[in-house]
Structure 1
């Protein structure tokens, strides 16, 4: 099978935690490698403002960076303007390559994939990763109307939809009236050759402490790093005898007024928090393995790959009970889910964990066991089953 894997707004090979790159990048890249290892041919397609380039990046896997809107650095909000130019650019670049199925990721790629699938007379499979309606419901942050309209059309016209978790599948049924027979649930995986607990222990980056937390992800309000910092500040006021520290890995994404360092200053956490650039997977695994707890304070999350990767390192997770995180984390077994993204609630849990290290040790064992649910090999096989069903329905 020859698969066109569309990811127009961000390259699957981009470093997660920088720009708009995050868990979706990890998902597309690793799923593509898993499908290639199963003997299929995968063509990952993304947009670049510079010269077009095609490179084989793995067994049966190619990365096509196609020049669209040359020389223009576009924000995510501006990307809908490139939907029409993308059709012709991709068609020209892949000329002569017979595609069997289009798998589009995120609504923007879905709109392009819808047109390409019709042009090539092949089925379209869509993975939303996040939807406007679910995002609004969980975070309270309004989404553009054009996105909502586009998502409704896309979900209606595509052949099949792959959801990351049963939670996401339920959201698509609830908010978009998607027929459950059109939905497949494929759990994302973890690269267990990279993310595992057998790491060398490092010296504490901030000296001796009672609880060391790690946050890894983009610096944007939706990802909730501000909530974590405010909770550490609140915990410090409530329990000044406990030393709680945090290492924050990532870079600013989106609004430039999202100033985490000013929160550190306001909360008096200069000696307790350090900021670092995004890490490549091997180094990120080391950071996870050396944390007491990995924090995922997102206000909305379709799955939460960081949570799954942290648990594969034997490190428990504290997260908000939103979206797929309620599935990615086994509450009170592999980590702890906060009922509300509320500073005092988080602070109370941090104080409890800092004073009871045995809870962390026990949850670490649960985290490692729970992570066994998530493998890319399993995800590849399940995705292929969805493709076959899409083809079968398309040919009727």
Structure 2
């Protein structure tokens, strides 16, 4: 079965969406399906990335996003979809690509839209008044639910804005985490010593440095901790349009800007070597970076306004959107015995594996065997797999 996936706002090097697309593609392939990913880029391309065929269409850069691109040109994308003749269509963009749901329906192709962000939350970040933003989000979300056969959300928090509309075709499927790459064994004394002394608290913020991620809250939390006499230092992993402003904000503080780290192992080492990871984004619908930190055995302090409290559970702490609140939550986490808090973090991450996520997504596509299919034997399993 050919599963064609469309995605906008995919960073060329890293990011939660890119991580999810890669792992789901690998899982689809392992299950006997043919994954094809279509994304925007600087130029046209068609290549294999592992088990994924990745087709790049030229797309313009969205201003003030630090390099995000979008797929434009409906005729070009329509021709490509016609050529690919997908058995399933998966769309990782709820707005600019909404028209592809109508294409799928007209061509008899079952379609799924995966909601990777809260539209109401993004509108608030962009300055829309609460009531107006919520009404606009409801209107746009209703249109989205109408044109796709199924809507997939990764958390209760993300599903809430569709559930309040009574969306009948809503499915909830958590994402997963790489429990091998991100593991407590990645903790390295030499990595920690690169940034902090033995008597200092090492904080890490790992994300794209863009407005919706609110990275300034990590800097503000550090300032509040230092003012309270806590000898904390902060490492910021990642890059983006907010970096110059953050550097100015952190001029008098012990903040190390590590930039983009090449290789997941390098990211895992710094996450595992931290005392606490800070994830301040208020509109995160899942938060893969936070889950990767938990897998490394490091507790996470998250924004109470996001979906992350649902993901981290008791393995971290939630804070209101101020530096002072984040500082208090960090101290709350540090007050727990270290061995216990690290064990709890890893145990929580082990509840989220990619195999279960892949199975959930395939079920949303109607492309995974149900218990009845398994009981029916090989013929039913071949039918599900499209063979």
TM-score between both structures, scaled by the size of structure 2: 0.84
Per-residue Cα deviation, 1:7-66 (whole angstroms, up to 9, x for no partner): 03325xx222xxxxx31221122111111111111110012232x21112223x211112
What is the match of residue 38 of structure 2?
Answer: 45
What is the match of residue 131 of structure 1?
Answer: 118
Distance in 1 (CA, whole Å) between partners of 2:316 and 2:289 is 13
What is the match of residue 27 of structure 2?
Answer: 34
Distance in 2 (CA, whole Å) between partners of 1:79 and 1:371 is 29
Distance in 2 (CA, whole Å) between partners of 1:81 and 1:126 is 16
> What are the equivalent positions in structure 2 for 1:91-110 lying under 5 Å apart?
91-93=78-80, 95-108=82-95, 110=97
Distance in 1 (CA, whole Å) between partners of 2:224 and 2:146 is 46
Instruction: State which of 237, 244, 256 in structure 2 corresponds to 1:274.
Output: 256
**SS in structure 2 opposite 1:385?**
helix
Task: Name the CA shift for 1:214/1:107 in 2 (closer, same or farther; >3 Å).
Answer: same
**SS in structure 2 opposite 1:65?**
strand
What is the match of residue 226 of structure 2?
Answer: 236
Gap runs ≥5 in structure 1: 17-21, 391-396
What is the match of residue 394 of structure 1?
Answer: none
Task: Name the CA shift for 1:53/1:226 in 2 (closer, same or farther; >3 Å).
Answer: same
Distance in 1 (CA, whole Å) between partners of 2:352 and 2:29 is 18
What is the match of residue 195 of structure 2?
Answer: 206
Shift of 1:200: 5.1
Task: Name the CA shift for 1:330/1:201 in 2 (closer, same or farther; >3 Å).
Answer: same
Distance in 1 (CA, whole Å) between partners of 2:40 and 2:188 is 40
Instruction: State which of 307, 318, 334 in structure 2 corresponds to 1:324.
Output: 307
1:57 corresponds to 2:49: yes
Shift of 1:226: 0.9
What is the match of residue 239 of structure 2?
Answer: 251
Per-residue Cα deviation, 1:205-241 (whole angstroms, up to 9, x for no partner): 23314310111111123212211211211221222xx
Per-residue Cα deviation, 1:338-374 (whole angstroms, up to 9, x for no partner): 1x112222222334555x4x53432110111111121
Instruction: State which of 276, 293, 296 in structure 1 corresponds to 2:276.
Output: 293
Instruction: State which of 105, 109, 112 in structure 2 corresponds to 1:122.
Output: 109
Distance in 1 (CA, whole Å) between partners of 2:282 and 2:189 is 31
What is the match of residue 378 of structure 2?
Answer: none
Distance in 1 (CA, whole Å) between partners of 2:68 and 2:237 is 27
Shift of 1:194: 1.2
Task: Name the CA shift for 1:126/1:263 in 2 (closer, same or farther; >3 Å).
Answer: same
Shift of 1:187: 0.5
Higher relative contact order (CA 8 A, sep 6+): 1
What is the match of residue 384 of structure 2?
Answer: none
TM-score between both structures, scaled by the size of structure 1: 0.82
Per-residue Cα deviation, 1:245-274 (whole angstroms, up to 9, x for no partner): 111011123x68x60111112xx21xx210
**SS in structure 2 opposite 1:63?**
strand
What is the match of residue 182 of structure 1?
Answer: 169
**SS in structure 2 opposite 1:330?**
helix
What is the match of residue 316 of structure 2?
Answer: 335
Contact 1:8 1:108 in 2 (8 A): no
Instruction: State which of 249, 272, 278 in structure 2 corresponds to 1:263.
Output: 249
Contact 1:162 1:386 in 2 (8 A): yes
CA RMSD of aligned residues (A): 2.8
> What are the equivalent positions in structure 2 for 1:295-314 lying under 5 Å apart?
295-314=278-297
Contact 1:127 1:162 in 2 (8 A): yes
Gap runs ≥5 in structure 2: 369-387
